[in-house]
């Protein structure tokens, strides 16, 4: 241990440091592009990518069916927008799908 470290510990009246750990929850993990690239790489995840494609399609279909907001026709006044036909679903964030896939992998690993 370095002399200045020892001196600091003495002044603090401690024998050792207590390390603070900064844990992120899974939900807080940012999907860095490098993670997304690895999850799309068959050399890393193998065939399950087809499962991802299926999952993405299922999620999009589900969102389109249940959660699609009413789209406002470009030439409609606001007051009539609620009566407009549902438009295409808002695009889901790709990160959500990949996070779901990673979650699936995780439950597969623990199972």
**Where along the sequence are the contacts to another protein (CB under 8 A)?**
1, 16-17, 19, 21-24, 26, 29-30, 32, 34-35, 37-38, 41-48, 102-103, 105-106, 108-110
CB of 109 to another protein, least distance (A): 2
CB of 12 to another protein, least distance (A): 14
The answer to whether residues 64 and 85 touch, using CB atoms and an 8 Å cutoff, is no
In the bound state with another protein, the residue whose beta carbon lies nearer, of 4 and 24, is: 24
The DSSP H or E segment spanning 50 is helix 48-66
Buried b (16+ CB within 10 A) or exposed e, 60-79: eeeeeeeeeeeeeeeeeeee
Angle between helices 94-110 and 48-66 (to 10 degrees): 130
CB of 105 to another protein, least distance (A): 6
In the bound state with another protein, the residue whose beta carbon lies nearer, of 26 and 83, is: 26
């Amino acid at each position: 241990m370095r002399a200045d470290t020892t001196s600091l510990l003495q002044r603090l009246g401690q024998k050792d440091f207590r390390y603070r750990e900064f844990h992120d929850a899974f939900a807080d993990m940012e999907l860095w592009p490098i993670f997304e690239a690895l999850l799309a790489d068959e050399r890393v995840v193998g065939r399950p990518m087809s499962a991802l494609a299926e999952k993405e399609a299922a999620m999009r279909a589900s969102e389109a069916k249940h959660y699609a907001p009413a789209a406002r026709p470009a030439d409609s006044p606001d007051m009539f927008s609620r009566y407009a036909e549902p438009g295409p679903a808002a695009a889901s964030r790709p990160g959500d799908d990949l996070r779901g896939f990673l979650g699936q992998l995780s439950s597969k690993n623990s199972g």
